[in-house]
Amino acid sequence: MKIIFCVDLDAFFASVEESLNPGLKGKPLIIGSSPLEGRGVVSTCNYEARKYGIKSGMSIVKAYRLCPFAVFLPPRLEIYEVVSERIMSFLRSLTSKFEQLSVDEAFLDVTEKVRDWEEAKEFANEIKEFIFKNYGITSSIGISFNKLLAKLACQKCKPNGIKVVDPPNAKEFLKDLRVEELPGIGKQTTKELKRVGIKKVEDIWKFGLKELQRLFGNFGSELYILSQGEGEDDVYERDELKSLGKEITLSEDTLDRITLFSILQILARDVTEYAKHQNLLFKTITLKIKTKNFKVYTRSKTLKTFSDSSQDIFSTCKKLLEEFLKREIPIRLLGIRVSKFCKNSTLKKFWNKKHF
């Protein structure tokens, strides 16, 4: 039986800003475009802002209406990357089995580091204390025997918590989870599930695999597997990165082009930074679209030359999205992924680590 940590840095971008400027602590803080521009979306926000219903992917105008006295700051990705690299290097040093998911989240297999679940909890607390002492950032750690359950446990203990889901308690933990807490289940999907009487994971169990497949097709199979808490338990860093990307689920289905294009800009910017962090140039750009009827569409284009430009990603995906929007199908999720990499030997780190 493996013991796996899911470590998540709480409201990471906002937490870095608070660490740099302690005067921001206790105030609603929103990272994104300026509300004065009248367009754009929320990249992330701190937990004070979330009390007002603000969340990632929401239009900046709506966020301003909900909390006009919040502090609005533009993202400073270069700084966030430096802090992330330092923390991830620390986490990587703790175990031989490490898997970074994003700038603010990682899995650690600590099976060989601890003897039991209680010792695992103590180890997790030591990790949290180190990160907070050195970077002023709180973190949450979910602990379980596979990556799915570790991630779900992490979500349930945010912010600044630790939660253990061991084998004897896994079913009890899953039973009362709301369906929207499962990965990949957004607002509109939740509505569709509630329409047939599925509000919690225990409701999924009542249907069974065949009935879920009849109602939802392939998605029904995915839903059943998620409800059983079945997940991969291999934690590893891939020797050869095949692709990297990011997705944003919208707060509501939309055909609004300003909102959709603003989200594309955020995704393009973030994916570019991820690629630069890996010292990679990319050639193939893929746009992922999920619509209100659960269907997922992907559109790809291969550039003539390798690139590390967010503008190349944005302009390519904007054209692909404009073509798709002719269908007039409301969109609930957008994602961008890049692939076909080559190493960029000419890139140099812009930020000196000693600067922070």
| Domain 243-343 top-level CATH class | alpha beta
Separation of alpha carbons 102 and 178, rounded Å = 25
Q: Is the separation of the CB atoms in 92 and 7 below 8 Å? A: no
Tell me the backbone φ, ψ of residue 321, rounded to 5 degrees.
-70, -40
Half-sphere exposure of 170 (CA within 13 A, CB side): 18
Which ranges of the chain does DSSP label H, i.e. alpha helix? Answer: 12-20, 47-50, 60-66, 77-92, 117-135, 147-156, 170-175, 187-195, 201-207, 209-216, 218-227, 257-277, 310-324
Q: Mind listing the pLDDT tens digit for each residue in 266-283?
A: 899 889 988 887 778 899
* Mean model confidence pLDDT for the chain: 89
Of the listed ranges 79-93, 97-111, 112-126, 244-258, the one predicted with least confidence: 244-258
Joined together, the tokens standing for residue 75 give 């993202």
Residue % of the chain over a pLDDT of 70: 95
Record the pTM.
Answer: 0.73
According to DSSP, the β-strands at 162-164 and 139-144 are parallel
CATH, domain 14-76, list 3.30.2270.10, 3.40.50.10090, 3.40.1170.60, 3.40.50.10490: 3.40.1170.60
Residue 189, judged by CB atoms within 10 A of its CB (0-12, 13-18, 19+), counts as: buried
Separation of alpha carbons 25 and 22, rounded Å = 6
The yes-or-no verdict on residue 353 having pLDDT over 50 is no
Separation of alpha carbons 146 and 151, rounded Å = 9
Query: For 71, left (φ over 0), alpha (ψ -120 to 50), or beta?
Result: beta
Q: Does the annotation mark 17 as catalytic?
A: no
The total number of residues written for the chain in this structure: 356
Among candidate residues 333, 337, 323, 248, the one with its CA nearest the CA of residue 293: 333
CATH architecture, domain 176-227: Orthogonal Bundle (1.10)
Q: What is the domain partition of the chain in residue ranges?
A: 4-10+78-170, 14-76, 176-227, 243-343
pLDDT of residue 218: 80
Separation of alpha carbons 57 and 39, rounded Å = 12
Catalytic one among 105, 252, 322, 323? Answer: 105
Sign of CA dihedral 136, 142, 146, 149: negative
Q: Mind listing the pLDDT tens digit for each residue in 190-212?
A: 888 999 999 999 999 999 889 99
* pLDDT (mean) for 216-222: 85
Query: What SS3 state is found at 273?
Result: helix
Question: Which position has the higher pLDDT, 83 or 240?
Answer: 83
* pLDDT (mean) for 57-85: 92
The yes-or-no verdict on residue 341 having pLDDT over 90 is no
Q: pLDDT tier at 188 (50, 70, 90 boundaries)?
A: confident
For 112-149, b/e burial (b = at least 16 CB within 10 A) is: ebbeebeebeebbeebbeebeeebebbbbbbbbbbbbb
| Domain 4-10+78-170 top-level CATH class | alpha beta
Half-sphere exposure of 36 (CA within 13 A, CB side): 5
pLDDT of residue 62: 93
Separation of alpha carbons 130 and 149, rounded Å = 24
Question: Which position has the higher pLDDT, 131 or 33?
Answer: 131
Q: Mind listing the pLDDT tens digit for each residue in 16-25?
A: 999 999 999 9
pLDDT of residue 240: 55
